[in-house]
Amino acid sequence: MRERLQKIIAAAGLMARRKAEEAIREGRVTVNGVPAALGDSADPETDEIRLDGKPLPKEEAKRTVLLYKPRGVVTSLRDEKGRRDLRELLRDFPERLTPVGRLDLDSEGLLLLTNDGELEYLLTHPSHEVEKCYLTWVKGENIEAAVKRLHDPMEIDGYAIRPAKAELLEKLPGGAKIAVTIHEGRNRQVRKMCEIAGVTVTRLCRIREGFLRLGDLRPGQWRDLTAEEVERLRKEAAR
């Protein structure tokens, strides 16, 4: 069956669909020896598709994992600065799984990893918003005002951010624990929003993405998503 080249490359687990589109534009993809153009289709069963001169590997079984990323681990498969990265947590996986989105070095919690390029595309494309909830420990004086401010529209790094949902869970000495729910997931978004609201984040843990919850996993632990969960996640992201 003929499909768009970027979809075939993503299905092979080599890269996400957007990266595959870039590879096609750069002339790195050929079909039956002919350089491909963006928008071309092929049949992976009958056509010889090559990326950087190498034939595409046979499509491996799809796997999506929910991982509790520990604090102090970079969301990368190889860190140029020599910091702890995801390799140490994924060394026992035979598949090449890539992270879906990011959690910064100082944040922890729910992180999805997959070799399903199409699912990764759905979950990370700007037009497909998946709600994310974070337990957020903050320090500051006027906690109630900060929680109220988080419900207002904000601008971060030149972008208009949709209002968050914020709930005060517990007052603590010098601060509080709050739940913050956002949609966009821009770089360090919750930390920057809290700063605008007048409080400083001391700990940040993502506990939910869409309907998926971290549950009782501990840092470094993981579980496979069921086929039903993957299908539900796919439908939720495609809305």
Tokens representing residue 159 in the block: 């972008």
Task: Select from 161, 146, 234, 159 the least CA-distant residue to 194.
Answer: 146
In the DSSP assignment, the letter for residue 74 is: B
Segment (H or E) for 212: strand 212-213
Q: Which residue of the set 104, 116, 152, 216 is catalytic?
A: 104
Query: Is there a catalytic annotation at residue 216?
Result: no
| DSSP alpha helix (H) spans, the chain | 5-11, 17-25, 87-90, 117-124, 143-150, 189-197, 227-237
CB atoms within 10 A of CB 141: 10
**What's the CA gap between 138 and 87, in Å, rounded?**
30
How is the chain split among helix, strand and coil, in percent rounded to 5? 25, 30, 45
Q: So which residues are the catalytic ones?
A: 104
